[in-house]
Amino acid sequence: MARVRRLSSEKFEFTRTLLILGNLAILAWVLLASLSLVMISQLYAWLFLAFTAALIFLMLRRLGCSTCYYCKSCTSGFGRLSAWFFGKRELKDLTNKTALSFVAFIYCLLSPIPIGFLTVSLIQEFAVSKIVMLLFLLTFSFYSLATWLKTSKRIPNPIPERSSIP
């Protein structure tokens, strides 16, 4: 999505693009997941929205940001939050085990649970809007999960190619 420049071995500078677009994408993902639960129950959808939004934007944000020491400029945890879900792998704080368990729990809340409910609702009654929501949920999920994959750097071949000797 956006670039983040690493200043030293510990300090990060989160770009404004990553901050804004990353957090808006998380908010859109939460709203989409909540909207998928409207097909089951409107009350459950509102409760799900409040629970996941509070879990992400209050608890996880505070778990990711305990001090301004690790960043060049203070983002109040919003930089770390957007990096966890949509940033490159090297930006993800793999040492904070408590926050990582929350991130895994949030992935379960935002991906399999709404996708499951939406699939059941789609089986009960077919609608194009449900398929569109399902496709968007899958897109958010796969894109966000793909940011956790290690990118392999190409290693040059140590064996030189044979020259053609006549």
Query: Domain-by-domain residue ranges, the chain?
Result: 4-146
Please tell me whether the overall predicted TM-score, pTM, comes out greater than 0.85 for this model: no
Which amino acid does the sequence have at 27? Answer: L
DSSP state of 162: P
Predicted local distance difference test score (pLDDT) of residue 19: 78
Q: What is the mean pLDDT of residues 122-128?
A: 91
Joined tokens for residue 144: 């966000």
Helix (H) or strand (E) holding 160: none
pLDDT of res. 91: 65
β-bridge partners, 5: 13
Residues 64, 49: contact at Cβ < 8 Å? Answer: no
Q: Which tens digits make up the pLDDT trace of 53-86?
A: 999 888 887 777 766 655 666 666 677 777 778 7
Backbone angles phi, psi at 115, to 5 degrees: -65, -40
